Amino acid sequence: MGKRGVFFKGISDIESDTSAVSGATSRGATSSGADSSREIINEALANISPMLSDETQKEAMKIIHYTINNVKMGKVVDDKEVKKLIKNMVEEIIANQDAMLNLIKIKSHDEYTFSHSVNVCMIATLIGARQQIPVDTLEELAFGAMLQDLGKIRVSDEILFKLGRLNEKEIEEIRKHSLYSLQILSENNRIGELPKKIAYQHHERWHGQGYPQRISGENIELLARITAVADVYDALTTDRPYRKKFLPYDAVRLIVSRADDEFYADTVRSFVESVSIYPLGSLVRLNTEEIGMIIKINRKAIVRPTIRILFDSSSNIMEEPINIDLIKDRERYVICAIDEEEVYQMHTDQTKETKE
């Protein structure tokens, strides 16, 4: 348990040496509504290079739809199509490890299974790449991570999409999806052992309280330990019918708090090294009350990223946003992560006030 919390060590030390608080530096800032704030946030996002191209993401969504439909119709997994896609994904992720982890955002809850498969594949591959796992093994990891939940098609929709509390029998049924995933992948003898292990073991936990076998520690395949972290991070940062999504910062913290307990500490370390605690593209509030977007992670001091200031200290939109490197600017520091919805809401309220 000794490694727990190590990733956040030093945050308060760094923050405590910032004494003076600088004023906001907006140049001709103006008030505006939620649409303008959405616009400036989207503009800033468009300037950060994404980990996976739009084209590859669309292809990934197409292939996962195709794979799920095939299996629903009783066909085996078309491993050749999936492998072709995986090859591209792995190549792009290795080349863009420092780019923004552009996870697919769902527009409706029905899309969750599809986007979740692609997102888990992206995150797991990124962690694996950070751990310098060889490319052929990374491809096995990406393949298994993409198809880990395939077995859910054998669980009834009634249970899968139930909004209320699940009873014990229903929980037991849902938990069978990892076994079903293993069975589906085993129907194609060209699919290797590693993806099958990932599918079967992605809900096992380091402390031995996962399922289906309740195995622990190194008895769990390393690639399944990686997939577990990826699976939980994407699930936490997505809105679900029964709960609001976590901010990326809060999801990272939660996973870190469970390192060496639920999750393998080395995997958690590589995960944090990859996405950082304030992931690229996320919004933060500074001590100056300015709001900005993380545009560059400073690996030597992850609490001091480079930020593009989008809103000044009075929450006005910056007409000309400025970039601040918190390594150089010692007067500013991040005080919290902030949800973009909160920013939109703030500007909707502001517009109302102006009209009244």
Q: Interface residues with Fe ion (CB under 5 A)? A: 149
Q: Which is nearer to Fe ion, 145 or 324 (CB)?
A: 145
Six-digit token pair at 58? 């669309």
Among all residues, whose Cβ is closest to Fe ion? 149
Q: Which is nearer to Fe ion, 161 or 349 (CB)?
A: 161
Rounded to an integer, what distance in angstroms lies between the CA atom of residue 293 and that of residue 317?
13
Q: Which is nearer to Fe ion, 160 or 322 (CB)?
A: 160
Q: Please, are residues 313 and 292 in contact by the beta-carbon 8 Å criterion? A: no
CB of 113 to Fe ion, least distance (A): 10
Q: Please, are residues 29 and 318 in contact by the beta-carbon 8 Å criterion? A: yes
* H-assigned helices in the chain: 11-16, 34-46, 54-72, 79-95, 112-130, 135-147, 157-160, 168-175, 177-186, 193-201, 222-236, 248-257, 265-275, 340-355
Residue 352: phi and psi, rounded to 5, are -60, -45
CB of 211 to Fe ion, least distance (A): 10
Q: Which is nearer to Fe ion, 152 or 304 (CB)?
A: 152
Distance of CA 178 to the CA centre of its chain: 21
Q: Which is nearer to Fe ion, 152 or 332 (CB)?
A: 152
Which residues lie closer than 8 Å to 134 by C-beta, 6 or more apart? none
CB of 38 to Fe ion, least distance (A): 33
Q: Which is nearer to Fe ion, 60 or 309 (CB)?
A: 60
Q: Residue 223, by phi and psi: left (phi above 0), alpha (psi -120 to 50) or beta?
A: alpha
CB of 340 to Fe ion, least distance (A): 28
**161: three-class secondary structure by DSSP:** coil
CB of 327 to Fe ion, least distance (A): 39
CB of 148 to Fe ion, least distance (A): 6
Q: Which is nearer to Fe ion, 149 or 204 (CB)?
A: 149
CB of 104 to Fe ion, least distance (A): 17
Q: Which is nearer to Fe ion, 149 or 234 (CB)?
A: 149
Rounded to an integer, what distance in angstroms lies between the CA atom of residue 69 and that of residue 288?
51
Widest distance between CA atoms in the chain: 68
CB of 78 to Fe ion, least distance (A): 21
Q: Which is nearer to Fe ion, 29 or 224 (CB)?
A: 224
CB of 320 to Fe ion, least distance (A): 46
| DSSP string computed for 165-207 | ---HHHHHHHHTHHHHHHHHHHTSTTS-HHHHHHHHHTT--TT
To 10 degrees, what angle do helices 222-236 and 135-147 make? 50
Q: Please, are residues 301 and 273 in contact by the beta-carbon 8 Å criterion? A: no
Q: Which is nearer to Fe ion, 95 or 166 (CB)?
A: 166
Q: Which of 136, 36, 54 is nearest to 90 (CA)?
A: 136
CB of 202 to Fe ion, least distance (A): 6
Six-digit token pair at 50? 């994404």
**116: three-class secondary structure by DSSP:** helix
